[in-house]
Structure 1
Amino acid sequence: MRPIPFDNSYQTLADSLFHRQQAEPVSSPQALLINTELAEALNIDSKWLASPAGIDVLSGNALAAGSQPIACVYAGHQFGNYNPQLGDGRALLLGEVIDRQGQRKDIQLKGSGRTPYSRGGDGRSPLGPVIREYLLSEAMHCLGVPSTRALAALATGDPVFREHGPLPGGILCRVASSHLRVGTVQFVAAQQDPELLQQLMDYVIDRHYPECKQSESPYEALFNAILNAQATLISRWQALGFIHGVMNTDNMLLCAETIDYGPCAFMEAYHPGTVFSSIDQQGRYAYGNQPAIAQWNLVQLAQAMLTLMQQPGESDLKPAVQRAQDALNTFPDTFLQAYRQRMAEKLGFSHINDDDEALYRDFLALLEEHDCDFTLSFRSLNDRAAVMANCERGGDSIAGLFQLPNAFAPWLERWQQRFNADATPAEQRYLTMQKANPVFIPRNHLVENAIEKAYEGDMSVFFALQTRLQDPFEYQCDAAEFAAPATDGNRVTATFCGT
């Protein structure tokens, strides 16, 4: 058995979709963290991965048997402006593997050197963005959000030069169900090659949505499947206070996994207009805008797929346009339905009725009015739900860390009445509620502190934070520092892309 059992498929498509090349070597690679659990799930020998031979492959210094490294090309709308050619400017897809669940996964290196799509950049990554993506992507996975994952974080031993001077270099090994993006479809559509577009979308169907092959209109079924998956994904973001920061069409995967953890952040005080990304000067990708931006991105996907939606006998694209518009018009309700279910889980209800929508909206309004921490405010409801459900929790209460202000008392009375009136057993709803309301999230100040310490040569803070984030729902009082919001002295108000 090969140490990495590559089983490649994307590389069999048209060469115009990628550029074949190897990574640029680095001087002295060092594995900082190997995700052994993920490695084993991918049928990769984790001991080999941590060996000198494995580290050489993860750093790009060696080519594993069966690997066919490529830099993928795609287009994209960046902050609403179309760029006809983007692509992997600092990344290489090493190949694909079949995991233990029979699912195909991409293995990619980020920070592996220049490609034809680097647009003047060096193709490298400082260590900081590698640590950030490792922490954020694995935290999202543990929170139950579909996400790309981190297989390994490495230091390269080489400096990376940015505007503030040299920084230690790093490489992230990323795993995804695929790296096919809305921007991939946009790039192919712009080539005006109907056969290539159909080949690509048939590949998407085969890889991610095989049930669409049974439809009389498989490409319309594919579009609807992607739309539904994206609505569900964004509902999970909103329910956790996650702000992506760069929801460009090239950062929207067709498989509906979260990708690109550059300027992302978790909101602390609840405000729908919250923005952290230093490059989002107009607030286009603010927390409250994310559902509408997802729908806007899907409009771009529909336009790129439109010729495939035309039915036999239709003389022009007008009927296809109308069907695409009808599908797009379902997005707000599809998102709202998924989001309401998330809110039901967070509030401890078996379902959301019309009155409950007013209840959770009033709660959010109170959070905004009183600058309350989003994560801990919902988590504090768990303390009350545990009492009502007669659940033993040990040291799980956050009462010593956070309590809702007295102004919430009338709302809490309404919520308690609704909680007690639900027909589903209270203990069952409490347990569901706890899994919907984490206590540990990758707070900005904690992530930045881990990065700063890593630049000083101390990786222990990174390791400790990563360990804590692996179990986001179980709280003990001695871990309060990982759950507490930022203070005025360590508050992070801007996050950066990392390129």
Structure 2
Amino acid sequence: MPVSPNYRPDPRFPDLGDDFSDRVEPATFPQAVLRFRNDRAAAEVGLDNLTDAEWIAHFGRFQPLPGQSGPVAMRYHGHQFRSYNADLGDGRGFLAAQLRAGDGRLLDLGTKGSGTTPWSRGGDGRLTLKGGLREVLAATLLETLGVPTSRPFSLIETGEALQRGDEPSPTRSAVLVRLGHSHVRFGTFQRAAWHERPDLIATLTEHVRSLYHPGVAVGDVPGLLRAVVEASARLSARWIAAGFVHGVLNTDNLNVTGESFDYGPWRFLPHYEPGFTAAYFDQFGLYAFARQPEAVFWNLTQLAGSLKLVADAGPLTEALNGFGPAYIRELRAAFLMRLGVESAGEDADQALLDATLAFLRESGAALRWEPLFFDWFGGFASSARALAGPRAGLYRGDTFEVFRAALFAHDSDRPERLEDPVFASADPEEMLIDEVEALWAAIAGGDDWNPFAAKLARLEAARRAYSLFR
């Protein structure tokens, strides 16, 4: 391929050696039909100049990109629904490449559905096309709503008929590539601790510190944990503000940069419901919407337990105890971001957070989660728009007046954003389950990708309009 000047390969994880990963070979698929390519993300890493044929060669056939050392399946353990599993690892994916973005960050190209590995545990190593479609949709909307997330990079249909217990079968197959800021999981540390290898913990700790948290001093393990705690608190708060339920918050599904990834049975809230769950198998609501911060903190305690092999418990506990205050601080900031207003001080910001949740709680199923933030984005500047819109009749009563007063105590943040045509629409872009199923039905029934493409175009327009990442 012709190498772009912006393409900067920098494979680092394979250098850690065989204790952390295994060399693997990608599956050979009967066909490769390009269904999605993220040219905006590709431009950030110097891969936007690829032709479709070259794209398929690298992300469907997995011909090595220049300067990369070849795919590796990462080794890790994890607590799954709080039961320890020492038989994990990349079972249907691998780390395909690492490269530098324009801002200098080290990013991963990781796969899903690329074939069997030593950690497949009898599985076929494949991904359903519907599963790939769902991950593209989830990650795209999360980015739009300001959540730190991996980004869908490529989706290629692979021409196999898969048998699955949770989808009508046979069903179509695909291979997904995501662009993310590290696939080093909490479970990566747990595996080293389970093997009682403080040397591996020390190696991994320095790897993570130097590449992802360079502001932490060399050898400061509690400082590194503190950085991961703060990043995880921010992620948890952004999930809540987005009304998002990840579904499977195991220790192998959280990483050291506080970036959300690996979307399986996710859901967005239809309306405020603390006990709302995403996974049909989460029978006790362990990972319900409102319990997600609790789940993340529990997982952080497992990471801290692994780090006890190389650091004293006291400073690690102190770092862990920073999660609660960091989460509340980040939750206030996340709600300000979603409502498009500036901080008015801690007390006023907390009042707005409390009032927003109280109004959503009182409204119940009558008011969907996302429209509230859309209608009132920008605060006072959106009053006429909200009170003339389709939900105007819901915006009344004492609890609403408390919300409105708290909102109007804050100045609009970049009010010029409201001039975007997106805000002339009656409704926001959402991603409720019925719409996901309708998009899939068009593909499954008539191979009609136009609704999917149109949805992505609308999400991109919304992303530009909100401009939540600064």
Name the TM-score, length of structure 1 as normaliser. 0.84
Q: Given the alignment, which residue of 36, 39, 43 partners 2:42?
A: 39
Q: Equivalents in 2 of 1:64, 1:353: separation in Å?
A: 48
Code of the residue aligned with 1:269 in structure 2: it is: H
Per-residue CA distance 1:35-75 (angstroms, 9 max, x = gap): 11111111114333x12x33022113534444411111100
Q: Equivalents in 1 of 2:406, 2:283: separation in Å?
A: 41
Count of residues paired in the alignment: 450
Partner of 1:139: 141
Correspondence 1:67-466 to 2 at 5 A: 67=68, 68-163=70-165, 164-213=168-217, 218-309=220-311, 320-346=312-338, 348=341, 350-354=343-347, 357-358=350-351, 360-371=353-364, 372-382=367-377, 385-386=380-381, 399-403=388-392, 405=394, 408-422=396-410, 426-428=411-413, 430=415, 439-456=428-445, 457-466=447-456
Contact 1:377 1:403 in 2 (8 A): no
Contact 1:154 1:172 in 2 (8 A): yes
**Secondary structure at the counterpart of residue 309 of structure 2:** helix
**Secondary structure at the counterpart of residue 118 of structure 2:** coil
**Secondary structure at the counterpart of residue 376 of structure 2:** helix
Contact 1:344 1:352 in 2 (8 A): no
Per-residue CA distance 1:145-186 (angstroms, 9 max, x = gap): 211111111111221122332111111111111110000010
Code of the residue aligned with 1:405 in structure 2: it is: L
Per-residue CA distance 1:373-405 (angstroms, 9 max, x = gap): 1111232224862256x9xxxxx7684432352
Contact 2:379 2:412 in 1 (8 A): no
Per the TM alignment, residue 349 of structure 1 is displaced from its structure 2 partner at its CA by 5.1
Per the TM alignment, residue 449 of structure 1 is displaced from its structure 2 partner at its CA by 1.6
Contact 2:201 2:309 in 1 (8 A): no
Greater displacement, 6-15 / 239-248: 6-15
Q: Equivalents in 2 of 1:434, 1:327: separation in Å?
A: 43
Q: Cα 1:62–1:342, aligned 2, differ >3 Å: closer, same or farther? A: closer
Code of the residue aligned with 2:432 in structure 1: it is: R
Q: Equivalents in 2 of 1:75, 1:24: separation in Å?
A: 24
Q: Equivalents in 1 of 2:345, 2:369: separation in Å?
A: 20
Code of the residue aligned with 1:205 in structure 2: it is: R
Contact 2:189 2:303 in 1 (8 A): yes
Q: Equivalents in 1 of 2:349, 2:358: separation in Å?
A: 14
Code of the residue aligned with 1:414 in structure 2: it is: V
Correspondence 1:5-84 to 2 at 5 A: 6-48=9-51, 50-51=52-53, 53-60=54-61, 62-67=63-68, 68-84=70-86
Correspondence 1:460-479 to 2 at 5 A: 460-472=450-462
Per the TM alignment, residue 351 of structure 1 is displaced from its structure 2 partner at its CA by 2.9
Q: Equivalents in 1 of 2:372, 2:169: separation in Å?
A: 41
Q: Equivalents in 2 of 1:428, 1:355: separation in Å?
A: 15
Q: Equivalents in 2 of 1:213, 1:270: separation in Å?
A: 42
Q: Cα 1:397–1:363, aligned 2, differ >3 Å: closer, same or farther? A: closer
Q: Cα 1:16–1:212, aligned 2, differ >3 Å: closer, same or farther? A: same
Of all paired residues, the percent bearing the same amino acid is 30
Contact 1:5 1:44 in 2 (8 A): no
Q: Equivalents in 2 of 1:474, 1:207: separation in Å?
A: 29
Q: Cα 1:20–1:378, aligned 2, differ >3 Å: closer, same or farther? A: same
Greater displacement, 321-330 / 219-228: 321-330
Contact 1:340 1:352 in 2 (8 A): no
**Secondary structure at the counterpart of residue 204 of structure 1:** helix
Q: Cα 1:227–1:150, aligned 2, differ >3 Å: closer, same or farther? A: same
Q: Equivalents in 2 of 1:463, 1:154: separation in Å?
A: 14
Greater displacement, 262-271 / 60-69: 60-69
Code of the residue aligned with 1:218 in structure 2: it is: D
Q: Cα 1:326–1:383, aligned 2, differ >3 Å: closer, same or farther? A: closer
Partner of 1:493: none
Q: Cα 1:71–1:96, aligned 2, differ >3 Å: closer, same or farther? A: same
Per the TM alignment, residue 243 of structure 1 is displaced from its structure 2 partner at its CA by 0.7
Per the TM alignment, residue 129 of structure 1 is displaced from its structure 2 partner at its CA by 0.7
Contact 1:77 1:83 in 2 (8 A): yes
Contact 1:442 1:469 in 2 (8 A): no
Q: Cα 1:449–1:86, aligned 2, differ >3 Å: closer, same or farther? A: same
Per-residue CA distance 1:190-211 (angstroms, 9 max, x = gap): 1212222111111001110111
Per the TM alignment, residue 92 of structure 1 is displaced from its structure 2 partner at its CA by 1.7
**Secondary structure at the counterpart of residue 461 of structure 2:** coil
Contact 1:383 1:398 in 2 (8 A): no
Contact 1:185 1:197 in 2 (8 A): yes
Contact 1:377 1:404 in 2 (8 A): no
Q: Cα 1:363–1:455, aligned 2, differ >3 Å: closer, same or farther? A: same
**Secondary structure at the counterpart of residue 32 of structure 1:** strand
Q: Equivalents in 2 of 1:383, 1:98: separation in Å?
A: 35
Q: Equivalents in 2 of 1:132, 1:280: separation in Å?
A: 19
Q: Equivalents in 2 of 1:331, 1:181: separation in Å?
A: 18
Q: Equivalents in 2 of 1:83, 1:299: separation in Å?
A: 16
CA RMSD between the two structures? 2.6
Code of the residue aligned with 2:372 in structure 1: it is: S
**Secondary structure at the counterpart of residue 290 of structure 2:** helix
Per the TM alignment, residue 431 of structure 1 is displaced from its structure 2 partner at its CA by 5.9
